[in-house]
Amino acid sequence: MFQQEYQEEINRVRHRARRPKAPTMNWAQQ
């Protein structure tokens, strides 16, 4: 179940930040 949430977070961050400079693990650093 953790993987599902992880993928959802990545999708959200990816959709929210369309900048190629933004890291995919940005949400983890928050």
Q: What is the DSSP string of the chain?
A: -HHHHHHHHHHHHHHH---TTS-TTHHHH-
User: Model pTM greater than 0.75?
Assistant: no
pLDDT at 1 (0 to 100): 67
pLDDT at 18 (0 to 100): 61
pLDDT at 23 (0 to 100): 62
2: pLDDT confidence band, cut at 50, 70 and 90?
A: confident
pLDDT digits (tens, 9 = 90+) for 6-25: 888 888 877 665 665 656 66
